[in-house]
A = this chain, B = another copy of it.
Amino acid sequence: MNEVHSSGKLDAQAIAEAVRQGMYAKDHASKGLGMQIEAVGPGYARLTMTVRRDMLNGFAICHGGFITTLADSAFAYACNSYNALTVAAGIVVDFVTSAHEGDRLVAEAREISRSGATGIYDITVTNQHGKTVAVMRGRSHTLKGKHVVDL
């Protein structure tokens, strides 16, 4: 999976997958919440998470923080997919529909723009019925000269 292909397009995909592997190996947070990294690509990531009982707030719905955490993980895998170490500078979340125990959420992160050290990403969280649960916009900041994994 990590081999580097001759075409530029395949290289970028191989790099994104190598980064995914390297990040996930140490990503206690995403693992602990049962997230799975379904797909990655250059500037792209799709993750899933099932809402557990310990994610419910005092109103018996999924705590917005956990929905955000899923979206933020998708954002992290997408914005690090070029193997340049990148952190979240800021995020904006609009909550659209409640999520409930047992719901299977999918977060899809897509790059909107990238220039200099700054990237803008859109992340959509939907439930198993395809309904939008939340939308997030993330601003990323790439650190100079640091890689996520050694290739």
| Chain A residues within CB distance 8 Å of chain B | 22-30, 32, 53-60, 62-66, 68-73, 76, 85, 87-97, 112-113, 115, 118, 120, 122, 132, 135, 137, 139, 141, 148
Contact = CB atoms under 8 A, between A and B. Distances in A.
| A interface SS class | mixed
Contacts of A113: 96, 132, 135
11 contacts: A24-B58, A26-B57, A26-B58, A29-B55, A29-B57, A57-B73, A64-B69, A65-B71, A90-B95, A112-B132, A118-B141
A59 B139 CA distance: 18
Contacts of A76: 57-58
A139 B138 CA distance: 13
A69 B66 contact: yes
A92 B63 CA distance: 16
A25 B94 CA distance: 27
B63 A30 contact: yes
A73 B69 CA distance: 13
